[in-house]
Amino acid sequence: MGLLTGLLWSCTSSTSGPDAAASGTESTVQTGGSSTSAGGDAGGDAAGGSAAQGGAGAADPSGGTGGSGAGDSAAGGGNQTNAGGSGGTDDATSGGTGGEGTGGADTGCTPNGDSQNLAERYANCFPIGAAVDSQSYTTHAALLKAHFNSVTAENEMKFESLQRTEGNFSYDAADRIVNFAVANNMKVRGHALVWHSQNPSWLFSSGGGAVSKQVLLSRMKNHISNVVRHFKGKIYAWDVVNEAIMEDGSYRGGNLPDGQNSRWYEILGESYIAEAFKYAHEADPDAKLFYNDFYNYIPAKQQGIYNMLKGLLDQGVPVHGVGLQAHFNIEPSTVTTNQAYHQHVANLEEAIKLYSSLGLEVQVTELDISLYIPGVTYNPSTFYTTATFTDDLKAKQAARYREFFELFRKYGSAITGVTFWGIADDNTWLSEFSSGRKDFPLLFDVDHRPKPAFDAVMDF
Ligand code: 9MR
């Protein structure tokens, strides 16, 4: 995991920036308000209210239908095809029936026997994934093999990891993760081809100045083609474009603090999004291609994402799904100006209905539930520790997981994957802060034992 530095915990700042990913380097500075952190929301807000704390936003990749173009299933809200296989059973697949009118069909899902293994229990619903890093797939192998049937590389497939210098692709770390997954019959999601963050410095410059449109487009094509071809047949779904829309529904563009602005948009305009999907589809016509983003529960943002996706589909761009990052908090914010004020199940449900009405698959791509409440100020004396992560708090976190999983199961035919952003509490991006702030956001504790949250997710 990268190292988040400079966390300022007492943030009052406003919101916005959760996502900002620290560009290029790993250092997300979360200064009081402007978070620069990687992309999400979660973190940041999680703690202090604003993006400040490092927020990582949740992205949500959702994945497309097989084949022909998103869209086809759209119409009736009905039949989502199931993502790739494993998880869903046939029923999940044909879904159909246009249950909710506009929303995705909703056949829900039922437990697979009485299995105590998470992925097995959800086998009639969707694959259950975890983000892994270059250590955790070995240090946490027992948990991974027991409870998950899909993996995402947390950082190892990002632009700066795969092409640190121009033309030199380094696949070793990513290959090791993929080989582990293949050897253990797990699916692999690819994350992420085009993002405003974690890019190498050469990418946007040329001869000491800014790169031209034409050269940047050819760099983007070269990267996508090389990477997608390299993993063809092993990666079933890609987050092609990550975090392109802001909280107000507009495109992420320039005039944002460093780390939050998108050089892709500044140089290429919004057409970079369509081009990225086309290049990825050319490189692997069988891969499901997702748009991935966080804060989908904010009405203006979900509408902006919907409008963008509809526009892409209308132009025939091969988009197959939407990823919901899902970096959540133990409770919504009470601060009306905070992004997490909107973090209610009903708002997320609207997003699922809206996106699936386009015929797109929906996947939860980066799930975790932070203990910190956005809009509340924390400091080292109120940071959680294993001692202050009390039974009450564990029960509260479990209840929050329960309500979100009830929603995911309800939309078990539209949702084709649920991935946690980590495996156990001893290895989470939410504890990367140099301030020492720890978080305990996953289903397994620091000693890899199941938490009450695990029981809540298994209880259906
Ligand atoms: O979890 C990742 C963390 O290790 C990195 O330091 C960070 C750098 O930007 O990226 C984190 O992952 C992000 C993901 O790629 C996109 N959505 C938000 C995630 C959390 O910040």
Domains of the chain, start order: 74-458 (3.20.20.80)
Residue 35: the pLDDT is 34
- pLDDT greater than 70 at residue 47: no
- Assessment of whether the complete model's pTM goes beyond 0.95: no
For ligand 1, mutation pick of 429, 432, 433 (most atoms within 8 Å of CB): 429
Distance between CA atoms of residues 97 and 91, nearest Å: 12
CA atoms in the 13 A half-sphere facing the CB of 51? 30
Residue 146: the pLDDT is 98
- pLDDT greater than 50 at residue 339: yes
Active site residue 270: no
The pLDDT mean for the chain works out to 82
CA of 39 to the centre of ligand 1 (A): 6
Active site residue 331: no
Pocket flag, ligand 1, residue 425 (CB < 6 Å) = no
| Closest ligand 1 atom to Cα of 1 | 4
For ligand 1, mutation pick of 155, 370, 433 (most atoms within 8 Å of CB): 155
| Closest ligand 1 atom to Cα of 198 | 9
CA-closest candidate to residue 244, choices 194, 198, 287: 194
Pocket flag, ligand 1, residue 55 (CB < 6 Å) = no
CA-closest candidate to residue 374, choices 33, 28, 60, 22: 33
Evaluated on CA atoms 386, 43, 273, 275, the torsion sign reads: negative
**pLDDT (tens digit, 9 = 90+) per residue, 83-138?**
333 333 233 333 333 333 334 446 689 999 999 999 999 999 999 999 999 999 99
Residue 255: the pLDDT is 82
**pLDDT (tens digit, 9 = 90+) per residue, 256-296?**
988 899 999 999 999 999 999 999 999 999 999 999 999 99
Residue 50: the pLDDT is 32
CA of 243 to the centre of ligand 1 (A): 12
Instruction: Report whether the peptide linkage leading into residue 192 is cis, meaning its omega lies within 30 degrees of zero.
Output: yes
Active-site pick, 26, 243, 350, 361: 243
CA-closest candidate to residue 57, choices 425, 329, 383, 406: 329
Pocket flag, ligand 1, residue 26 (CB < 6 Å) = yes
